[in-house]
Amino acid sequence: MNASSDLQATLDSSRKSWVESANDPASDFSIQNLPFGIFSDRRSDARRAGVAIGDQIVDLAALQAAGLLNVSTQGDVFARAVASDTLNDFIALGRDAWRSVRIQLSTLLARDTATLRDDTALRAKVMVRQADAQLHLPVQIPGYTDFYSSKEHATNVGSMFRDPKNALLPNWSEMPIGYNGRASSVVVSGTPVRRPNGQLKLPDQERPVFGACRKLDIELETGFVIGAGNALGEPVACADAEAHIFGMVLLNDWSARDIQQWEYVPLGPFNAKTFATTISPWIVTLDALEPFRVAQPVQEPQPLAYLRHDGEHAFDIHLEVRLRPQLAKQASTIARTNFRHMYWTMAQQLAHHTVSGCNTRVGDLMGSGTISGPTDDSYGSLLELTWNGKKPLELNEGGTRTFIEDGDELTLAGYCQGDGYRVGFGTCVGEILPARR
C-alpha cells in the first residue's frame, strides 16, 4: 500500500478498535478520529502529547520510547516534539509527519492488531484513562484572529441594531470580516471565566458608568490551528490554504455585549472580547474531517479572484450549546446548528488574512465567528436567541435566561456523524465567576 491508500484506510467506517469504548456509536473519539492534545496524569505531571481514543489517551511520548511510533526522517526531533508541553514542535514537523502518526496509530489501535491489545504491561505504560488525566491548552498560540463569517448571524445582528432592510454592510459579502484578538487570554476548556468589568453606556444617562458586564454572552464558534505558516510578504493562495491548517477545535469567544456596544465604534471590539476565549482541548485534524466535506453556501456576488476555490470546502459538523445554572442538576440545550451554514470558508479566511502579506505562524488560532443557522433555535449566541433580552429562554428546571448569570456553566459540543461512528470534538466548557469588586 502507498501512503495515500494507508491514509484512506484510517477513514474506513468499518474499522473497529480493541479499545471497546471507541466503538460506541456515540463516542466522539472513534478510531476514525484520533485527535491530538496535551495532557498530564497521576503518574507524571509532565505535560506531553496524546491522542484520544474512546475513553483513553495514547501517550505518544511513551509509545515512541517503546519503539512503536516514529517518523523516520525526523529521528530525535520527533521524540522531543511528542515529549513537549505543547503541540507546536510536533505540528512544525509538517503534514507528512502528522499523517504518518495517524496511520501508525490507526494500525496499532485496530481490533486485529495484537501488539498493544495483547501486551498488558506495555498497554499500562502507553494508555491513560481520560478520567485520570488533566487536559491542557494544546498549543502555544502566537496570534489569534476572530472572523465574522456567518451570514445568518451578521444579518440578525444588523437587523437588531441597524435597518433590517440593510442588515449587512456593503463589504460583508465581498470579504471575510475579522479582527485581531488577544492570544494571551485563550484558555482551555474547564477554566473558569470571570465576568468582566468595563464602561457601560446606559440609555438614561449622559455619560458612561463603570461596572460589571450586564449582558454576558457566548459565541458558538469553531477555530482552526495553523499547521504551516507563511513568510512575511508571501500570501497563501486560497487553493493552497487547507494545506496550511493542522486541525479544528470548538471555540467560545465570550462577549460582553453592553461593553461592546459602547466601545466598538470606530475600531471594533476591544475589552468586550479580550477577557477570555475558551477552546476545546482536542484538535481534530482535517484528514479526520475529510469524509464530512460538503458544499459551502452559494456566494453572491462571486468573490474576487483571490478568494475563489473549486470544490467543496464546508464540513458537516453538528453543534450545540448547553446552559446549566449553578444549582441545576441538568443542562438545558439552548441551540443546535451546523458548521456547514458558514458563508466564508476557512480557506477563504486564511487567504484573505494573508493577502496583504501578513505572516502566520504554527499554532496561530483563527476563530470562525459566531455560527448561526436559519431557524430561531439554531442561533449561536444568546444575543440572537433572546433577541437582545426581549425573548427570555425557558430552562428545563424552571427559570429563564436573557444573558449569562454568575455560576452558569456553558458547554459547546460538536461532532460529525458517520455510518455507525462519530468524529467529535469533545466539549468546550466554562463556568462564570462573579466580577471582581
* Residues known to be catalytic: 153
Contacts of 209 (CB under 8 A, 6+ apart): 199, 200, 202
> The C-alpha cell of 127 is what?
494508555
Is 377 marked as binding a ligand? no
- Rounded Cα distance between 308 and 304, Å, is 7
- Strands in 325-372 per DSSP E: 332-338, 365-367
Is 264 marked as binding a ligand? yes
- Rounded Cα distance between 229 and 368, Å, is 18
Is 394 marked as binding a ligand? no
- The C-alpha angle with vertex 356 and arms to 350 and 358, in degrees rounded to 5, equals 65
Is 370 marked as binding a ligand? yes
Helix, strand, or coil (residue 257): helix
Q: How many Cα atoms are found within 13 Å in the side-chain-facing hemisphere of 387?
A: 7
State the alpha helices, DSSP H only, in 217-345.
257-263, 271-274, 286-289
- Rounded Cα distance between 205 and 238, Å, is 48
Is 215 marked as binding a ligand? no
Is 253 marked as binding a ligand? yes
> For the chain, how big is the Rg over CA atoms in Å?
22
Q: Which residue has the cell 484538535?
A: 283
Is 400 marked as binding a ligand? no
Pairing of strands 209-212, 56-59: unpaired
- Rounded Cα distance between 153 and 372, Å, is 5
Is 195 marked as binding a ligand? no
- The answer to whether the CB of 333 falls within 8 A of the CB of 114 is no
Is 162 marked as binding a ligand? yes
Is 221 marked as binding a ligand? yes
- Rounded Cα distance between 89 and 94, Å, is 10
> Would you give the distance in Å from CA 77 to the centre of its chain?
27
- Rounded Cα distance between 347 and 361, Å, is 16
Pairing of strands 332-338, 216-217: unpaired
- Rounded Cα distance between 411 and 381, Å, is 12
Look at the chain and count its residues: 437
Which H helix or E strand runs over 305?
none
Is 219 marked as binding a ligand? yes
> Would you give the distance in Å from CA 288 to the centre of its chain?
14
Q: Which residues are annotated as a binding site for Ca(2+)?
A: 146, 219, 221
- Residue ranges of the binding site for substrate: 148, 162, 260, 264, 370
Annotated binding-site positions: 146, 148, 162, 219, 221, 253, 260, 264, 273, 277, 370
